[in-house]
């Protein structure tokens, strides 16, 4: 399933749940819960990103491309930590609480103390578990209620969930390039 399919499904979900006056039918009772649909999409993202994170050898976690204009780009470890930071922030917004771990404050590259492959991949895996927990709380009653986004303006839980599903793929493409530049075929392409 590619990103267009994921975004298309989320758009259709938004369309279906936001149609005013839509009367429930017998078929509606057979449809999956909103949280199940969102979980399925997040599972797909997680099952792409985590194996890609694990595929890079530990000695290459500080890798950044050098052939071309790459000054100031994130290292491989920073890409992974950035995804994790935002997984925690999206999840915390949905749950209307503070992230349960140190996300590095205003640094979007995560806690500077996390450097080893083991630490960074655990931070990523734990962040997906937290976001999964948050998404599991979304239902028809709270789906479109306003909550505060990490950047301050009001959004909905659905909006936060879509961002949590969408954001990792923004960086997944870069992770794939870093892997390939190191002669590694990404797990999803094997």
> For 124-175, how does the pLDDT look when each residue is reduced to its tens digit (9 = 90+)?
999 999 999 999 999 999 999 999 999 889 999 999 999 999 999 989 999 9
Residue 160 lies in a domain: yes
Q: CATH number for the domain including 169?
A: 1.20.120.450
Confidence of residue 25 (pLDDT cuts 50, 70, 90): low
Whether the per-residue pLDDT at 39 is higher than 90: the answer is yes
Give strand pairing partners of 146. Answer: 156
Confidence of residue 29 (pLDDT cuts 50, 70, 90): low
Residue 141 lies in a domain: yes
Q: Give the chain's domain count.
A: 1
Whether the per-residue pLDDT at 12 is higher than 90: the answer is no
Residue 68 lies in a domain: yes
Distances in Å between the Cα of 62 and the Cα atoms of 58, 72, 101 are 9, 13, 23
Per-residue confidence (pLDDT) for residue 71, from 0 to 100: 85
- For residue 156, the 8-state DSSP code is E
With a pLDDT cut of 70, the percent of the chain lying above it is 85
pTM, rounded to two decimals: 0.83
Residue 53 lies in a domain: yes
The whole domain housing 162 covers: 44-189
Whether the per-residue pLDDT at 110 is higher than 90: the answer is yes
Residue 27 lies in a domain: no
Residue 8 lies in a domain: no
CA–centroid distance for 24 within its chain: 31
- CB atoms under 10 Å from CB of 92, counted, come to 20
For residues 155 and 24, the model is more confident at 155
Residue 142 lies in a domain: yes
Residue whose entry in the numeric block shows the structure tokens 């050898």: 57
Sign of the alpha-carbon torsion through 108, 113, 116, 119: negative
Residue 24 lies in a domain: no
3-state secondary structure of 147: strand
d(CA 112, CA 12): 39
């Amino acid at each position: 399933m590619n990103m267009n399919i994921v975004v298309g499904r989320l758009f259709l979900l938004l369309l279906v749940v936001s149609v005013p006056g839509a009367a429930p039918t017998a078929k509606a009772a057979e449809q999956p819960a909103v949280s199940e649909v969102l979980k399925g999409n997040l599972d797909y993202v997680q099952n792409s990103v985590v194996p890609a994170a694990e595929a890079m050898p530990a000695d290459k976690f500080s890798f950044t491309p050098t052939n071309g204009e790459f000054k100031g780009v994130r290292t491989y470890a920073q890409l992974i930590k950035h995804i994790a930071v935002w997984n925690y922030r999206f999840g915390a917004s949905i749950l209307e609480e503070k992230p349960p771990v140190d996300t590095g404050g205003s640094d979007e590259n995560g806690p500077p103390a996390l450097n080893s492959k083991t630490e960074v991949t655990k931070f990523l895996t734990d962040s997906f578990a937290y976001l999964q927990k948050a998404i599991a709380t979304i239902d028809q009653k709270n789906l479109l209620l306003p909550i505060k986004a990490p950047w301050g303006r009001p959004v909905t839980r659905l909006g936060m969930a879509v961002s949590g599903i969408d954001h990792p793929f923004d960086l997944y493409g870069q992770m794939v390039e870093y892997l390939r530049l190191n002669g590694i075929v990404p797990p999803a392409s094997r």
